[in-house]
Amino acid sequence: MSARTKARKRALDVLFAADVRGETAEQSLEAESLRAAARPERASSWPYAREIVQGVIDHATEIDSAIASHSTSWPIDRMPAVDRGILRIAVWEARYNPEVPVGVAVDEAVELAKELSTDDSPKFVNGLLMAIVRDEDAPVS
């Protein structure tokens, strides 16, 4: 597993924890930063995980707006928390991280959904992300 794949999982852990615990992503990020400092064996994946979470925080309004406007069957607050986190990560990578090709962002999100969510989630995540990235009106940084 690549360092970036591990970082995406760590970022998802942070976002999921915030969602489930009812805390802000900033609070969850700070708590994970403290844990990361105490676990040097996991140091290689932490910088990118932190960048992802901070990017999701910085662009939360735009990311959630894109997800909500393209999800015709599920309001964002009704989506499983893990799917919501996966989608936020993928939208951030696709729109705001020029180092990650859009196809890679989508593929990685679908793989996370296959591994960590429901049987229907990979298809849902893929369809929603494809709608978002195909939308020519969607602002890109």
Is 85 a member of any domain?
A: yes
Q: Is residue 141 domain-resident?
A: no
Domain count, the chain: 1
In a domain, 108, yes or no: yes
Domain membership of residue 29 (yes or no) is yes
Mapped onto helix, strand or coil, the DSSP state of residue 74 is coil
> The domain containing residue 127 runs over which residues?
3-134
Write the pLDDT tens digit of every residue in 91-123.
999 999 999 999 999 999 999 999 999 999 999
Domain membership flag for residue 140: no
The CA dihedral of 45, 14, 50, 108, to the nearest 10 degrees, is: 60
pTM of the model: 0.91
Within a domain: 46: yes
In a domain, 23, yes or no: yes
CATH number (domain holding residue 110):
1.10.940.10
124-135 burial code (b ≥16 CB/10 A, e <16): bbbebbebbbee
